[in-house]
């Protein structure tokens, strides 16, 4: 075997910094674990630097990955599950050296990221940061009078400061890349989709799936899955139900707005037209995609939109909020509709229009399915692997 071939075959030791690494199924955590699993399948070693919590009080393993955990504080409005860790530079230095880390990959840009980046630069370790967070994900629950816009601006400045210390920045979409177009430096800028696994998310028979949650529900099935947080604007979907005939809305997920949204549903007299599924398993989520007629994403802030990609891979039409902070608008092309963000009447009109023509609905679903093929997660993992090697001058 030539020396060049040996270099290509070299397996890497990768430290991923992500708060929290736990059973909390926020998008960044799901994406992180999906990439980590596939990199491990290619022979690379992955460790995590993350937060301690009451559920994970000490160093442990998650899905077979070693997790180094550090003292933390609880992030508000996170259902008691999202903790931010505060490791010391000495401890991070020891971990990176003992684990012989080649690449430091930052998945959540929190305090642990800043400390880890400082240490990695001192040790000469290459650093990749992944743009997974928008200020709207964190501060949208704040009222405007409390300084929400100021917090957004400060957090953007922090992200610019942090990202500039890396050797490469990964964006899940062109939209996300444009948000940081002003970053100066000679680091690489790479657009890399979170991707979707077509072997997992695919067309399958599940027409009777929703019956176990609400046997009495009738009509077409509208589905949403995601966190029940302010930026997801699930209240817009709920309000739209009063203007839609012969359809039932199913809402899956959890979040601090759950009780508020359930109360809104009752107050509007829509509890017969809406069913809350709670948090469902990955297996049930795939069944739900396949059992629904339309997938709706009312969110106003997405850097890509993984659940939309998943619904598309299952061959479903999509209806997406046309928001200036939403990268998912670019998924919509002959496979669904955009609606005016936060406008429940316009959303109802778009849902009604989609349901009015069964043939057109099928065509839109097929268009979604074909479009999803361009977002194969295995292709994304290959590109990520190539980026690692490129930074290390291994190729």
Task: Report percent pLDDT > 70 for the chain.
Answer: 94
Answer whether CATH 1.10.3720.10 is correct for domain 209-374: no
Percent of the chain with pLDDT over 90: 78
Q: Residue 3: its pLDDT value, please?
A: 46
Which pLDDT score is estimated for 2?
A: 42
Note the pLDDT of residue 151: 81
pLDDT at res. 24: 65
pLDDT surpassing 80 at residue 241 = yes
- Per residue, the 3-state secondary structure of the chain, as one string, reads CCHHHHHHHCCCEEEEECCCCCCCCCHHHHHHHHHHHHHHHCCCEEEEEEECCCCCCCCEEECCEEEEEECEEECCCCCCCCEEECCCHHHHHHHHHHCCCCEEEECCCCHHHHHHHHHHHHHCCEEEEECCCCHHHHHCCCCHHHCHHHHHHHHHHHHHHHHCCCCEEEECCHHHHHHCCCCCCCCEEEECCCCECCCCCCCCCCCCHHHHCCCCCCCEEEEEECCCCHHHCHHHHHHHHHHCCCEEEEEECCCCCHHHHHHHHHHCCCCCCEEEEECCCHHHHHHHHHHCCEEEECCCEECCCHHHHHHHHCCCCEEEEECCEEHHHHHCCCCEEEEECCCHHHHHHHHHHHHHCHHHHHHHHHHHHHHHHHHEHHHHHHHHHHHHHHHCCCC
The mean pLDDT value for 282-298 works out to 97
Sequence ranges of the domains in the chain: 3-195+376-391, 209-374
Q: Residue 144: its pLDDT value, please?
A: 73
- pLDDT tens for 334-356 read 999 999 999 999 999 999 999 99
Average pLDDT over residues 358-375: 97
- Residue 326 has a pLDDT of 94
Quote the mean pLDDT of the chain. Answer: 92
| pLDDT bracket for residue 104 (50, 70, 90) | very high
Tell me the per-residue pLDDT of 217-238, one tens digit each, with 9 for 90 and over.
Answer: 999 999 999 999 999 999 999 9
List pLDDT tens digits, range 167-193: 999 999 999 998 888 887 788 999 999
Which pLDDT band holds residue 78 (cuts at 50, 70, 90)?
A: confident
Assigned fold of 3-195+376-391: Rossmann fold (3.40.50)
Assess whether the region 3-195+376-391 and the region 209-374 belong to the same CATH fold: yes
Looking at per-residue pLDDT, the higher value among 123 and 28 belongs to 123
Amino acid 25: pLDDT: 65
When pLDDT is cut at 50, 70 and 90, the band that residue 111 belongs to is very high
């Amino acid at each position: 075997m030539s020396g060049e071939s040996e270099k290509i075959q070299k397996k890497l030791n990768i430290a991923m910094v992500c708060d929290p690494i736990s059973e909390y199924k926020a998008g960044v955590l799901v994406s992180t674990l999906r990439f980590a699993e596939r990199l491990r399948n290619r022979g690379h070693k992955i460790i995590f630097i993350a937060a301690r919590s009451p559920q994970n009080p000490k160093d442990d393993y998650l899905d077979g990955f070693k997790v180094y955990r550090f003292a933390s504080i609880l992030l508000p409005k996170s259902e008691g599950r999202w903790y931010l860790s505060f490791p010391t530079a000495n401890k991070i230095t020891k971990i990176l050296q003992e684990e012989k880390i080649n690449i430091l990959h930052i998945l959540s840009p929190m305090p642990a990221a800043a400390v880890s980046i400082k240490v990695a630069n001192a040790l000469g370790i290459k650093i990749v940061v992944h743009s997974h967070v928008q200020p709207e994900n964190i501060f949208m629950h704040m009222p405007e009078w409390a300084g929400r816009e100021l917090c957004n601006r400060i957090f953007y400045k922090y992200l610019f400061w942090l990202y500039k210390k890396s050797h490469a920045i990964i964006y899940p979409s062109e939209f996300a890349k444009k948000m940081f177009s002003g970053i100066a430096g000679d680091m690489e800028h790479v657009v890399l989709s979170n991707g979707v696994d077509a072997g997992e998310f695919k067309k399958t028979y599940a027409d009777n799936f929703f019956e176990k949650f609400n046997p009495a529900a009738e009509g077409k099935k509208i589905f949403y899955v995601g966190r029940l947080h302010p930026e997801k604007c699930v209240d817009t979907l709920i309000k739209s139900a009063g203007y839609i005939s012969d359809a039932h809305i199913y809402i899956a997920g959890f979040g601090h707005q759950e009780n508020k949204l359930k109360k809104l549903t009752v107050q509007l007299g829509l509890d017969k037209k809406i069913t809350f599924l709670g948090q469902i398993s990955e297996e049930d989520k795939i069944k739900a995609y396949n059992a629904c007629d339309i997938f709706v994403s009312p969110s106003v802030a997405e850097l890509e939109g993984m659940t939309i990609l998943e619904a598309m891979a299952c061959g479903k039409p999509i209806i997406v909020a046309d928001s200036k902070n939403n990268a998912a608008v670019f998924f919509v092309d002959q496979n669904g509709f955009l609606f005016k963000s936060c406008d429940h009447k316009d959303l109802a009109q778009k849902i009604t229009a989609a349901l009015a023509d069964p043939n057109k609905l099928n065509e839109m679903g097929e268009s979604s399915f074909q479009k999803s093929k361009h977002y194969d997660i295995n292709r994304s993992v290959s590109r990520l692997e190539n980026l690692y090697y490129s930074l290390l001058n291994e190729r």
